[in-house]
Structures are given as structure tokens and as C-alpha cells.
Amino acid sequence: MNKKREIQSSVKDESLIEKRRAQMIRGAVTLFKQKGFHRTTTREIAKAAGFSIGTLYEYIRTKEDVLYLVCDSIYDEVHARLESLDIEKGSLEVLVTALEHYYGLIDDMQDEFVVMYQESKSLPKDALQYVLKKELEMVALFERLLTECRESGELKMTPKEIKLAAHHLFVQGQMWAFRRWALRDFTISEFIQTQTNFLLQGMAGEKISTQGAK
């Protein structure tokens, strides 16, 4: 659907580009997590990626490109993980599965998500738009599932409530990435379990059993 913002590279070999950019992203995420985007220098990124500053600039145009690549790679992963749900018709069970996938993903890519949420404001305008759109797509997925639950009678919520609830679900995911320091005594399964119960109780008035994620 959404055409990706193409990042220019003066190298032609596509598979090499992919390889080098993967190195870059891995190094950059660690650095951005530690010191933030602004305090990380391009030289540090190059070094962490395992090549020279000159080489770095063969694969990107600006430092912001690196941040964009990080964000973009996260959504590639999000897409891969939630793809299967795109086709399913919403039901409470599917909703729970979606949450399990989504929260599980955030758990796996905690650093990446933190970086994305903390630093995405440093993206150039168009890149920021692209990332926000991806974000809204996620929210829209939840919204669709909730709506379909309502239509099937599993939930009784107004459209407005559904919209807010979708944001709810999305933001609770961020919370797991961001507030891990405050939630040290929860495992990811406990977290998913408890969140799910809250939501379902709040929305449907009944508990639904979920199998612990991962």
C-alpha cells in the first residue's frame, strides 16, 4: 500500500545495501537507546556497524536516514508478525491473539520500540508522517477487530469508545517497552494475561481464558 520512502544509496548492489543497512540498524539501535539520537555521532554508528564513516555515507544521505531505517525496520517486523491477522474476521479470541502477537513483538524488540517512540520526533517531516501512518494502521487494526466484535454482539461499545479503546491497547504496548524498569516483577506472559483480563472485563463483562504468550 504505502510506498516506502526510498533512502538513496550510491551503491547499486541491492543485497549489499540490505546487508550494510542491517548492520547499521543493529548498531544504531544500541547507541540510540544508550545515548539518544542526538548524542550519537555518525562516526559512532559507522564504527558500531563495523565500517568506516565514508562507507556509512555510501548507504544513506543523512543521519536522519539512519533513524528512519530503524523505524521502518520495526514496522517491517510488525507487519510480518501481524500479517496473519489481517484477513481474519474479528472476534474476542482474535483480538486476544492480536494482543499477544503485538505485546510479544514489543517484548522482543523492546529497544527498537523505545528508540522509535523517543526519537521519531527527530525524523524529517515526511518520514515522520510515514511512521505515524504506520502507527495509525496498527491502531486501525485494533479498531477493526473491536468493531467486528461489536457487530457480532460480543462487545457493547459506542464507536467513540471503540476508538479510544484501540488507542488504549496500542499505548499499553508502549508501556511495556517504556516502563519495564517499573514493572520488573512482571513477566511478559503475566503482563499479557493481566492486560487482557482488564480489557475484556472492562469491555465484555466476562473473563476469557488466554494461553500465555511465548
Residues of the shown chain interacting with DNA in the complex, contacts defined by CB under 7 A: 10-13, 16, 20, 39-43, 51-55, 57-58, 61-64
The partner in contact with residue 122, picked from DNA, its own copies, none with C-beta cut-offs of 5 to 8 angstroms by kind, is: its own copies
**What is the Cα–Cα distance from 214 to 96, expressed in whole angstroms?**
14
d(CA 69, CA 75): 10
Considering the complex, state which of residue 36 and residue 50 has its C-beta at the smaller distance from its own copies: 36
What contacts 78, CB < 8 A, 6 or more positions away? Answer: 102, 105, 134, 138
> DSSP alpha helices (H): ranges in the chain?
14-39, 42-49, 53-59, 63-86, 92-108, 110-119, 125-151, 159-178, 188-204
Q: Which of residues 140-199 bind its own copies (CB under 8 A)?
A: 160-161, 164-165, 167-168, 171-172, 174-175, 179, 182-183, 185-186, 190-191, 194-195, 197-199
Q: Cβ of residue 1: shortest distance to its own copies, in angstroms?
A: 19
Q: Work out whether 12 is an interface residue with its own copies (CB under 8 A).
A: no
Whole-angstrom distance, CA of residue 200 vs CA of residue 196: 6
Distance CA 122, CA 202 (A): 37
**Window contacting its own copies (CB under 8 A); options: 23-31, 35-43, 93-101, 145-153:** 35-43
Written as nine digits, the cell of 38 is: 542526538
Instruction: Please state, in angstroms and as integers, the Cα–Cα distance from residue 87 to each residue in 36, 110, 150, following that order.
Output: 37, 27, 18
Is 41 a binder of its own copies (CB under 8 A)? no
53, interface contact from DNA, its own copies, none, CB < 5-8 Å by kind: DNA
Triad 104, 113, 47: Cα angle to 5°: 120
Residue 22 binding partner per list DNA, its own copies, none, with a CB distance cut-off of 5 to 8 Å that depends on partner kind: none
Task: Rule CB under 8 A: say whether 88 interacts with its own copies.
Answer: no
Nearest Cα to Cα of residue 103 among 171, 197, 165: 171
Contact track, its own copies, 105-124, x by CB under 8 A: -------------x--xx--
Q: How far is the CB of 146 from DNA (least distance, A)?
A: 42
> Which spans of this chain sit near its own copies (rule: CB under 8 A)?
36, 38-39, 118, 121-122, 136, 139, 160-161, 164-165, 167-168, 171-172, 174-175, 179, 182-183, 185-186, 190-191, 194-195, 197-199, 201-203, 205
